[in-house]
Structure 1
Amino acid sequence: MDAEKARASAWFRELRDQIVAAFEGLEDSHAAGPLTDMATGRFEVTETKRHSDDGSDAGGGLMSVMRGGRVFEKVGVNVSTVYGTLGTAAQKAMAARGVPGIAENPQFWASGISLVAHMQNPNCPAVHMNTRMFWTPGAWWFGGGSDLNPCIEFDEDTAHFHATQKAHLDPHDEAHYPRLKAWADEYFYIPHRSRARGVGGIFMDDQNSGDWEADFALTQDIGRAFLPAYLPLVEKRRVMPFGAAEKDVQLVHRGLYAEYNLVYDRGTKFGLATGHDANAVLMSLPPLAKWV
């Protein structure tokens, strides 16, 4: 499995590099519409480390964050590969999910990419994407997906986002898209608000068909779907005018996003529970939000 781990880790880094370049390209090409007088944004890259209980090397990654750009108010693209021994709380969570042998041997390895973008223009949708591979001595699996979080909804944007994901999943199995869409609708739901976080997307976890190559290929295409699903929406909406009223709607919607990530998100809980860099784990939070 070492070779498979290396391939997965390298792919997540490759996808990270593609996305960072594309997002900086959006900043460079923003020459019409609001905020064109601002400086073009650039990612600040910081190396992250996972802290093990005994101080030994436990992996890490790169945290890439852009703040205050023309197009992106805050966007983070993190990639990491971490390993070591799961703590008691994480062991219990894994056991509850049916991971075999985790009590007897709580070693783990995990690698993935995680992205959240919060936009300057309220007409541009926020977005989340992540893909990951997880390994324990008794099991391995893939997870992840992407979902759109507009504060001002445009039906054609939602349709494009979903259609692009479906087009990337259908060659693997036409049953994947409806299954992963339904899973996203269930997962990205805020029970205490009785509403969805956004307009959905796709989501999977514990993906192990028994065929590592097939599952890796599916995970790669979930990642490949992201840029063609999202970039055209930003290019179309970033030129639209906006004012204080639209910005207020955006800030309130961001409050929903923050609530979900802090209360329900599995990745946030796992990252904090396993000692990963807290700034990297909480990168998903918006720079400004509002509650009414």
Structure 2
Amino acid sequence: MTDFTEQKTKASTWFRTLRDEIVAAFEALEDSHETGPHWDMVPGRFEVTPTTRHTDDGTDAGGGLMSVMRGGRVFEKVGVNVSTVYGTLGAPAQKAMAARGVPGIEDDPRFWASGISLVAHMQNPHAPAVHMNTRMFWTPNAWWFGGGSDLNPCLEYEEDTAHFHDTQKAWLAPHGATLYPELKAWADEYFFIPHRKRARGVGGIFMDDRNTGDWDVDFALTQDIGRAFLPAYLPLVEKRRAMDYGDVEKDAQLVHRGLYAEYNLVYDRGTKFGLATGHDANAVLMSLPPMAKWV
């Protein structure tokens, strides 16, 4: 198998491009919020920090950008991270990859990974939280794509859920009629919290280990998953950000955030991989909400 230099460059460049588009769109939401709760606050801006992955011997092995906005008009906390990391997997990560059926990983633990990860926690409880990520992973004997996006409202509106799913379905349609129901079912299974016996949110789409044997086809699908995000999500925020709310709604939001934190700390595969491979802990844990509560 080749080292996939050209494909790696295309993928990492795309993730950075998508990051730039989302950051610009979210800052534009901050600027345009002129009525309703929090309109009189200073529009939020992303604080951008370079991140570095360190190996056990202290050498650098890639990194990326952590972009976090805190205390905005619309977003209470939102992070949009991109990274490209490489090196050698440690024994626990090797074992996990081998259990997933990655060929040759026990004999050759070299890897390369690039992706974008986004989590948004909102000021207004009526506006849904959201998660999105897409990524490419390479080893000397395998490559694959993964990711998706899912909606996490604390106060669900059926029409918002329908819009989010319908938009994703439309973007996936050119890739095959069976793909959306397949990735929706995968998201329903993946974002389920066993110890609570409930879903984390209202679902979305999710895939992992995507390798049909045609890199260009799988990359095109991954790009469309990313392109679907803004049209699926922005209209929901624009519709809900100016709605009035009180203590009851805010309390429901904080309790739901506790549920979100539990999932990310206990089950999320990306969190486990990032911490196990030595990536910047602040970037890995960017997904956690600024405030949460448990009853």
TM-score range, shorter chain: over 0.9
Instruction: Please show how residues 34-49 of structure 1 align to structure 2 within 5 Å.
Output: 34-49=37-52
> How many pairs align?
292
Equivalents in 1 of 2:59, 2:88: separation in Å? 11
Q: Which residue of 2 aligns with 1:214?
A: 217
Runs of 4+, deviation exceeding 6 Å: none
* Sequence identity (%): 82
Equivalents in 1 of 2:145, 2:102: separation in Å? 13
Q: Among 188, 196, 200, which residue is 2:199 paired with? A: 196
Equivalents in 1 of 2:262, 2:95: separation in Å? 24
Q: Deviations over 1:48-78 (max 9, x none)?
A: 0001112222000000000000000000000
Equivalent residue letter for 2:169: K
Equivalents in 2 of 1:40, 1:56: separation in Å? 38
| 1:101 paired to 2:125 | no
Equivalents in 2 of 1:243, 1:15: separation in Å? 35
Which 5+ residue runs of structure 2 have no aligned equivalent? none
| 1:16 paired to 2:19 | yes
| 1:235 paired to 2:238 | yes
Q: Which residue of 2 aligns with 1:268?
A: 271
Equivalents in 1 of 2:173, 2:275: separation in Å? 35
Q: Which residue of 2 aligns with 1:247?
A: 250
Q: Among 105, 112, 118, which residue is 2:121 paired with? A: 118
Equivalents in 2 of 1:101, 1:192: separation in Å? 34
Over the aligned positions, Cα root-mean-square deviation in angstroms equals: 0.4
Shift of 1:14: 0.1
Equivalent residue letter for 1:48: T
Equivalents in 2 of 1:131, 1:116: separation in Å? 12
Q: Which residue of 2 aligns with 1:79?
A: 82
Equivalents in 2 of 1:68, 1:271: separation in Å? 26
Q: Among 129, 137, 143, which residue is 1:140 paired with? A: 143
Equivalent residue letter for 2:101: G
Equivalents in 1 of 2:8, 2:271: separation in Å? 22
Q: Among 63, 67, 74, which residue is 1:64 paired with? A: 67
Which 5+ residue runs of structure 1 have no aligned equivalent? none
| 1:156 paired to 2:196 | no
SS of residue matched to 1:26: helix
Equivalents in 2 of 1:74, 1:56: separation in Å? 31
Task: Return the TM-score normalized by structure 1.
Answer: 1.00
Equivalents in 1 of 2:239, 2:207: separation in Å? 29
Equivalent residue letter for 2:72: G
| 1:5 paired to 2:8 | yes
Q: Which residue of 1 aligns with 2:171?
A: 168
Q: Which residue of 2 aligns with 1:90?
A: 93
Task: Return the TM-score normalized by structure 2.
Answer: 0.99
SS of residue matched to 1:171: helix
SS of residue matched to 2:195: helix
Shift of 1:105: 0.5
Q: Deviations over 1:223-264 (max 9, x none)?
A: 000000000000000010001110000000000000000000
Shift of 1:174: 1.1
